[in-house]
Amino acid sequence: MPKRAVAASRASRDALAVLGTQIKRARLERRWTQTDLAARIGIDFKTLAAVEKGSPTVAIGTVFNAAFTVGVDLFGLEGDELALARRRGEETLALLPKKSRATRLKDDGDDDF
């Protein structure tokens, strides 16, 4: 089944634009060109331009790699704080009943809304 594109909500577009601006500002503060940063994270400069514009089509991992490389804190958390938040989230999920942690989706063949 082909993937369906999901339109980004206004809040998502706003968040992407804010993060893109933060990445661009941090890159410029380091006096790096788009080509410099793109090379550091293994993408082409056109993709980096899309990151900095807040394009919703760029993979989230690419956006986060760009943010991390220029020192933009994600979720308002710095380095070790982010790792701690991840561990706490994993611990919280582990406390949930196994039935509610299932990640497989059941296809009942009913695509009607």
Measured in whole angstroms, the distance separating CA 24 from the mean position of its chain's CA atoms is: 15
- 14 shares its domain with 68: yes
pTM for the structure as a whole: 0.77
What range does the domain containing 37 cover? Answer: 10-72
The pLDDT of residue 112 is: 46
Output the pLDDT for position 69. Answer: 97
DSSP per position, 34-77 = HHHHHHHHT--HHHHHHHHHT-TTS-HHHHHHHHHHHTPPBTTB
Same domain, 60 and 91: no
Q: Is residue 4 part of a domain?
A: no
Digit-by-digit pLDDT tens for the chain (113 residues) are 566 667 889 999 999 999 999 999 999 999 999 999 999 999 999 999 999 999 999 999 999 999 999 999 988 888 789 889 999 999 998 888 877 666 655 555 544 44
Domain annotation covers residue 1: no
When divided into structural domains, the chain yields a total of 2
CA–CA dist 44, 70 (Å, integer): 16
* 36/66 same-domain check: yes
Give me the pLDDT at residue 96, please: 86
Question: Are 85 and 42 members of one domain?
Answer: no
Contact between residue 38 and residue 45 where contact means Cβ atoms under 8 Å apart: yes
Answer yes or no: are the C-beta atoms of 70 and 23 closer than 8 Å: yes
- State residue 18's pLDDT score: 96
Does some domain include residue 49?
yes
Terminal-to-terminal C-alpha distance of the chain: 18
> Which of 67, 60, 65 lies closest to 27 in space, CA to CA?
67
